Structure 1
Amino acid sequence: MKMTVSTAAQEWYQTNLDLKSGDGIHFYGKVYGKTNVHEGFSIAFRPEKPQKPFYEVQYQEISYFFDDIDEWFFTGYDLEIDYDAKHDSPSYTFVAEA
């Protein structure tokens, strides 16, 4: 399981959430909606500094992470986060782990 965040998506988060060095984005599964691999659940995020993340990746001193309570949502997949210019928002694609 790994998470990648494109440069364009990083810029979107930093600009729209006014992120500074040491800040973080906490990803988690929420009821309702869907992803390309989850029916009835979608991905959500909130700005939050990591405390004890289960998984974390850093770009430009910003942490992108999820906690152990949401491990079920990410297990078996890599998460690719990109920027969708048409909707001016991040896009999320789960890819089965190789």
Structure 2
Amino acid sequence: MKLTITPQVLAWFKEEINLGENQGIRFFGKVYGKTQVHEGFSVGMSVDSPENPLFSETINGILFFIEENDEWFFKGYDLTVDYNEQLKEPAFIFKEI
């Protein structure tokens, strides 16, 4: 799995999210909603500290991660996190690998 954070959404995270020491942005699968590859589930995100990261990457001082227990949601896909100008929020794009 590969996680891509676009420069536009990185700027949004820097402006909108306050992180404490050892905290980052966690992405996870949550019930309700849909993605282009999941029906009934959408991408959640939270400010959290990693416990058992499946994937983690620090970009410009911000830690982004996915926990091992969320592998079921991301398995077989690369995830790009972009910025939706119309909604003024992150957009999640899955690509099958």
* Residue 92 of structure 1 pairs with residue 92 of structure 2: yes
Matches within 5 A, 1:43-82: 43-82=43-82
Instruction: Answer yes or no: is the 8 Å Cα contact 1:22–1:61 preserved in 2.
Output: no
CA distance in 2, matches of 1:66, 1:55: 5
More strand by share: 2
Give the equivalent residue in structure 1 for 2:34.
34
| Count of residues in Structure 1 that have an aligned counterpart in Structure 2 | 97
CA distance in 2, matches of 1:67, 1:73: 11
TM-score normalised according to structure 2 size: 0.92
Matched letter for residue 39 of structure 1: E
CA distance in 1, matches of 2:21, 2:90: 20
Q: Which runs of 5+ in 2 are unaligned?
A: none
**SS in structure 2 at match of 1:54:** strand
| Root-mean-square deviation over aligned CA pairs | 1.4
Q: 1:22 to 1:7 in 2, by over 3 A?
A: farther
Q: 1:79 to 1:60 in 2, by over 3 A?
A: same
Shift of 1:49: 2.5
Q: Which runs of 5+ in 1 are unaligned?
A: none
TM-score normalised according to structure 1 size: 0.91
